[in-house]
Homo-oligomer: A and B are copies of this chain.
């Protein structure tokens, strides 16, 4: 067995930092969603890029799969060892290498989490804005092209990764990009690796763009009679060039779940939650103008606050929304969908999805990033019940088809992994074959995270 031969060599290389225990393999064979466990044959804990390179060289020599692992918080089975092999856990490569205040960038190792990074940055006056919810590793966030609540202002990982160091399928180490803010020097390898889900190389270092911590922050919330009014309000705000740092929505079902969870009595209507960053004067002006637009669209009184504790209270509906939904049905698991459509089609997409869910035996409260046209129906089901799993998949399929019909994408920020591969031909057509061409050229043995994102054969 070739995997066994690889593991033998890896033990010589790594000693105790190659773990073959059942408990560690099981830990790395799980995900946060409904997939069955798929443990690797061993877990490697490299400490240097050079070690990662040697691990991959050994695995390549023995046709052994290599699966990168950050925090295991991805939602499409990205880090499961579908074909066994060696999981490379980056927890010992989690350092901040260098902060460049003047250039507002930072070099980090892939295992650092976004919260740990922001802790280390606190004193610099700078921060890293991408916030996918989970306290994911920066390497994993880059590999899955994560985004989240701040994308409308600060962009996705694609917009905030300046340069990478990557170990290729044959163990070569390359650097992509530079510390320059822009370049037109050849193919954009940085963007090729961002979102490649470990299938083209293992990210061993990242240079990230940082942003200045805002002088002032204001946050607000308001209820709307329906989705259309809420979405139109956001479209007008964007078109007027009022820069929102975050603009989120939750539907009436999420508000209902939150009321039950938090003992509140908010109106069971769709809500918008907004945040502005800037100077004191700028956020005050932006909040006022936003309030006027809210009123024009029939929104209720726009409540806003600038002090951190008051802001958090206003935003609790969004921060706790997912947990409130999970708590709404004991023992159930969530299937989190992730479609993204042009914002002009968003109200329609949400309304049609709600109608589907209303006719289904399953619950599926909806929340999302309205500024990006991206939303999640949190489909609640018992994964041990085949009928419920099938029904959740049916609802998710309908959402995916609808997103594509509307010119959107089946995954705004969660990635393809194993879960979304079935939609790739429909979404990309011949473009998916091009992705396979690229994969074959970069990883001809198909050892890097096999069975994810592309279909090689």
Binding site for B on A (CB under 8 A): 100-105, 125, 144-147, 151, 156, 158-159, 168, 172-176, 178-189, 191-192, 194-196, 200, 211-212, 214-215, 235, 238-241, 243, 277-279, 281-282, 285, 289, 340-344, 371-374, 403, 407-416, 420, 423-424, 427-432, 434-435, 437-438, 440-442, 453-454
Contacts and interface: CB of A to CB of B under 8 A. Distances in A.
Contacts of A194: 188
A424 B344 CA distance: 43
B235 A185 contact: no
Q: Which of A191, A194, A235 is packed against the most chain B CB atoms within 10 Å?
A: A191
Contact of A192 (B175, B188, B340): B188
A172 B430 CA distance: 8
Given A186-B424, A238-B104, A340 B180 contact: yes
Given A182-B372, A184-B145, A442 B434 contact: yes
A366 B455 CA distance: 50
B340 A181 contact: yes
Counted per complex, copies of this chain come to: 2
Given A180-B407, A184-B413, A212-B239, 7 more contacts: A104-B239, A181-B373, A183-B411, A186-B428, A186-B435, A187-B200, A281-B285
Contacts of A434: 168, 174, 189, 442
A35 B342 CA distance: 44
A342 B408 contact: no
Contacts of A195: 184, 186-188
Contact of A182 (B151, B212, B239): B151
Contact of A342 (B158, B179, B187): B179
Contacts of A341: 179-180
A184 B168 CA distance: 21
A178 B441 contact: no
B185 A416 contact: yes
Contacts of A185: 409-411, 415-416, 420, 423-424, 427-428
Contacts of A184: 144-147, 156, 195, 409, 411-416
A196 B102 CA distance: 31
A414 B181 CA distance: 14
A435 B185 CA distance: 11
A187 B181 contact: no
B182 A340 contact: yes
29 contacts: A101-B239, A102-B343, A103-B343, A151-B182, A156-B182, A172-B430, A174-B431, A175-B429, A178-B407, A179-B341, A180-B340, A180-B403, A180-B412, A181-B343, A181-B372, A182-B374, A184-B195, A184-B409, A184-B413, A185-B415, A185-B423, A188-B192, A188-B195, A192-B438, A215-B241, A241-B278, A279-B285, A282-B282, A434-B442
A211 B186 CA distance: 27
A363 B208 CA distance: 37
A159 B209 CA distance: 14
Contacts of A104: 238-239
B342 A145 contact: no
A173 B429 CA distance: 10
A174 B212 contact: no
A225 to B, nearest CB: 20
B441 A100 contact: no
A243 B104 CA distance: 15
Nearest to A168: B434
Given A344-B103, A430-B172, A412 B183 contact: yes
